[in-house]
Structure 1
Amino acid sequence: MVISHLTSKSADNLTFFTANKQSPWYLVAFGMIGASLSGVTFISVPGEVGNTAFSYFQVVLGYLVGYFVIAAVLLPLYYRLNLISIYTYLEQRFGTRSYKTGAFFFLLSRIVGSAFRLFLVAGVLQIAIFDAFKWPFSITVAVTIALIWLYTFRGGIKTIVWTDTLQTLFMISAVVISIYLMKDGLDMSWTSLSEKVSNSGYSKIFVWDWQSGKNFFKQFVSGAFIAIVMTGLDQDMMQKNLTCRTLKDAQKNMFWFCIVLVIVNFLFLSMGALLYVYAEQMQITLPQKSDDLYPMLALQHFPAVAGVVFLLGIVAAAYSSADSALTALTTSFCVDFLGLGKEEKPISKKLRIRVHLGFSVILFAVILIFKAINDDSVITAVFTAAGYTYGPILGLFTFGLITKYSLKDKYVPIVCLLSPVLSYIININSEAWLNGYKFGFEILVVNGLLTFIGLFLLKEKNENYKAL
């Protein structure tokens, strides 16, 4: 709230969307770590080490290629066109239907994704804190979202650049302190601790079995495309980059962001290995779900300070992804669907606040729907389905960037609806159809390719083509 007060001074309506393009690149770079590592990552990545060791790091290595493409190709495009919403590019390149389709898929995936992440974190907070006060789950969620709305409704993205920095600091501190407390509890030196993890079998990174979903090449290529789509083609993540003063600053931010992200992910994986080593040494029964390991140890077996640190870390992780998502949803809807920000339609502060409040209510409702479903497999399936919506965005931008064709714009929504459905059918039948082959994250690439093929069938010669 203090940061919000300080960053909202003399803020005009445009500050909410662009921070007046005055954000220091190093703050954006550090703060984006927290936004990219949600509460799901905070809990799931360490827990998953017990099932797949360090194989997730193969995806992280692929991120480096993706971030290079963002810095070299996408950021120059966005800065040259002076975009507020990155999906405006699709309107200039193809037409209104393509533009609205890309923006719609972003809104859908972000609403479901953000609600899913907040739902998981609110569940942890409910058990750890609010059950003791006999607060209903709905109040916990309402307070969580209300706090986000209160500190972002004036400063918007300008406030978030600074709060994300604070939240990232808390998140990384939680991991470092947890590792230190486990070292202390096991009474080991740093050298013997690293040797213990190295010899435990949890630190295996590379998988070469071609049929495995964790195969290195699948994971590496998937990581590159995940970075391009979920950072470079995502309004949430790109809106922060576009607040930097210049393109050079934004590229510098992207370079340092990917370096720090690799280090932080390795820290998460190392902590995950240590959690299992600690549980084995202390003869603690592992929970049925790997996601429950870190919360269980932090809240029930570590010293009290570790429980406090864990809760600070998970709250920071949840808020850093949710607050920027709420602002990005507001920005996309105002610019992409209401047409605000154009010369003939200046941005109305009153309307922007209503949209911001409306998306807060929508997130609240979706989280309560997840609670009412009360079925982990169904909720996870909904979250996974939301991930399929990034494929059409990938296909649209790729087609626009590497071809000179225009499109039969009115048919684009049909292609973009069919591609995720076909990708899902291919994914669930891949073992039977492809001689035991299992798709991992690379199903995103298949989804984007199907979209690209569909768009190619809709191509028209563009006599007046001019590279944007």
Structure 2
Amino acid sequence: MPWGAVCLSILATEASALTFIGVPADAYRANYTYLQFAFGSFVGRFLIAYLLMPAFYRGKVITVYQYLYQRFGTATRNTATLLFFVTRLLASGVRLLAAVGGIKAVIWTDVMQAIVFLGGAWLVIYYLLSHIPGSWQTVTTIAGKLGKLRVFDLRPALSNPRWLVVGVVNGCFQTFAALGTDQDLTQRMLTCRRVRDSQHAIIMTGIIDFPVVITFLTIGTLLYVFYQRFPDPGLPTNTDHIFPYFIVTQLPVGMRGLLIAGVFAAAMSSIDSALGALASSAIVDIYQPYIKKRASERHYLMVSRITVLLFCLILIGIAIVCRNVEQILWLGFKIGAFTYGALLGVFLLGVLVKRGSDLGNVVAMLSSIVVILILFVSQQRIGVAWPWLVVIGAVWTFAVGLLFKSKHRVTHNA
């Protein structure tokens, strides 16, 4: 695949409905400090490009968990695959696709969806600015006085989730883990013909990510100023609902349809790939090696379609359970905090050192999750904000894994 298309596909998947709804809600509720995450995220993409991608291409893997099998063995791969299933099922959305194609079809679909939802977002900014008396001058005056244009939070405290250091470090680790160890996102880079192309794609996403994040933060700030000038008694108290409320109550019919299409495009850009990644990992990492080793391609295609349907039903159930949750943007990050640290730690163990064993990695990953659960429950008492959890999880997994040593470097065939 061309690296430019892969780049847009990654951006479309990252900028899911969480971004479309959650980022404006965060800016409406707070300020621009979410942008701090993007600075760390850019560093994380460089680490993926030059630490993980060369290892994946050398191993000629279909799923990234095959690399763990080549490097360590079966138990490590199975545990990582299970963690991926849990993370992706909880973090993904709920839209059932009418048809499921291969990853290349998904990428080109994502490109078109990226154009739709970004175009819709820019139209909203134009509409808001043209309907706020005084345009930018009014926005900067009202938002500036309330600190809603602040980008950097310099209040140092481990318990402050918006502190600059927290945002940058979490952005680095969260992106490193999500794009580097989550099959849903990493599968796109693996479609590039050469490792250099995949590196170009991932680094370019980091550059484009800044204007994308700023776009949706700006929508949130403009919405705040708009409703300050034009109070609405029916305005939702849940800030996650304010942008959708604005779309259906304020926009003209034609623009409203485009924005609703943008919301669906944002949702589908993440769901189509999530379903594909879940299905491919289920077939390649579980079904093929353990249930039916030798079968026709037609058989595996049929099983993958059934698997997609089952995952759809699970996703719908999870979405129904979580339908009343507030601050959906941060919920998505918190879900990843439980498992991404363990996944990142074991991948770093594989590419950085020659230590680590199959059984030792399982102990490291599972104990990491237990530690993170304990810290999450007691975070207010110990004064550590939740963004540190993915960092602690990665460091814990890596450190515990170092305690174990293989007799030789495992090089299984995938």
TM-score (norm 2): 0.90
Does 2:96 align with 1:145? yes
Which of residues 199, 215, 224 is equivalent to 1:267? Answer: 215
Does 2:75 align with 1:97? yes
Which of residues 87, 101, 109 is equivalent to 2:87? Answer: 109
- Alpha-carbon distance between aligned partners in 1 of 2:190 and 2:167, rounded to the nearest angstrom: 29
Give the direction of change, closer, same or farther, for the CA distance of 1:56–1:373 in structure 2 (3 Å limit): closer
Does 2:405 align with 1:405? no
- Alpha-carbon distance between aligned partners in 1 of 2:147 and 2:316, rounded to the nearest angstrom: 38
Does 2:278 align with 1:333? no
- Matched AA of 2:16: S
Deviation of the 1:98 alpha carbon: 0.5
SS in 1 for 2:36: helix
Give the direction of change, closer, same or farther, for the CA distance of 1:295–1:321 in structure 2 (3 Å limit): same
Q: Does the 8 Å contact 1:330/1:352 carry over to 2?
A: no
Deviation of the 1:197 alpha carbon: 4.8
Q: Does the 8 Å contact 1:177/1:309 carry over to 2?
A: no
Deviation of the 1:237 alpha carbon: 1.1
Deviation of the 1:70 alpha carbon: 1.0
Ranges in structure 1 where 5+ consecutive residues have no aligned partner: 1-22, 119-143
Between 70-79 and 219-228, the greater mean CA deviation after superposition? 70-79
Aligned to 1:301: 250
Give the direction of change, closer, same or farther, for the CA distance of 1:273–1:383 in structure 2 (3 Å limit): closer
SS in 2 for 1:87: helix
- Alpha-carbon distance between aligned partners in 1 of 2:38 and 2:322, rounded to the nearest angstrom: 33
Does 2:169 align with 1:221? yes
- Alpha-carbon distance between aligned partners in 1 of 2:378 and 2:173, rounded to the nearest angstrom: 23
C-alpha distance after superposition, 1:221-249 (max 9, x if no partner): 11001111011111111111111121221
The count of residues paired between Structure 1 and Structure 2 equals: 405
Aligned to 2:317: 368
- Alpha-carbon distance between aligned partners in 2 of 1:441 and 1:347, rounded to the nearest angstrom: 45
SS in 2 for 1:438: coil
Aligned to 1:454: 400
Ranges in structure 2 where 5+ consecutive residues have no aligned partner: none
Which of residues 105, 108, 114 is equivalent to 1:168? Answer: 114
Q: Does the 8 Å contact 2:3/2:197 carry over to 1?
A: yes
Deviation of the 1:381 alpha carbon: 7.2
- Matched AA of 2:353: T
Q: Does the 8 Å contact 1:235/1:332 carry over to 2?
A: yes
- Alpha-carbon distance between aligned partners in 2 of 1:382 and 1:290, rounded to the nearest angstrom: 16
TM-score (norm 1): 0.80
Aligned to 2:14: 36
- Matched AA of 2:280: T
- Alpha-carbon distance between aligned partners in 2 of 1:360 and 1:242, rounded to the nearest angstrom: 25
- Matched AA of 2:350: G
Aligned to 2:103: 157
Deviation of the 1:406 alpha carbon: 3.5
Aligned to 2:267: 318
Q: How does 1:10-29 map to 2 (within 5 A)?
A: 23-29=1-7
- Alpha-carbon distance between aligned partners in 2 of 1:104 and 1:254, rounded to the nearest angstrom: 25
C-alpha distance after superposition, 1:167-224 (max 9, x if no partner): 0011101110001111121244556656665555211111111221111011101100
C-alpha distance after superposition, 1:372-419 (max 9, x if no partner): 676537x99798446412121111111112221141x23543432231
- Alpha-carbon distance between aligned partners in 2 of 1:396 and 1:365, rounded to the nearest angstrom: 27
- Alpha-carbon distance between aligned partners in 2 of 1:195 and 1:79, rounded to the nearest angstrom: 52
Q: How does 1:386-465 map to 2 (within 5 A)?
A: 387-407=337-357, 409-410=358-359, 412-433=361-382, 437-457=383-403, 459-464=404-409
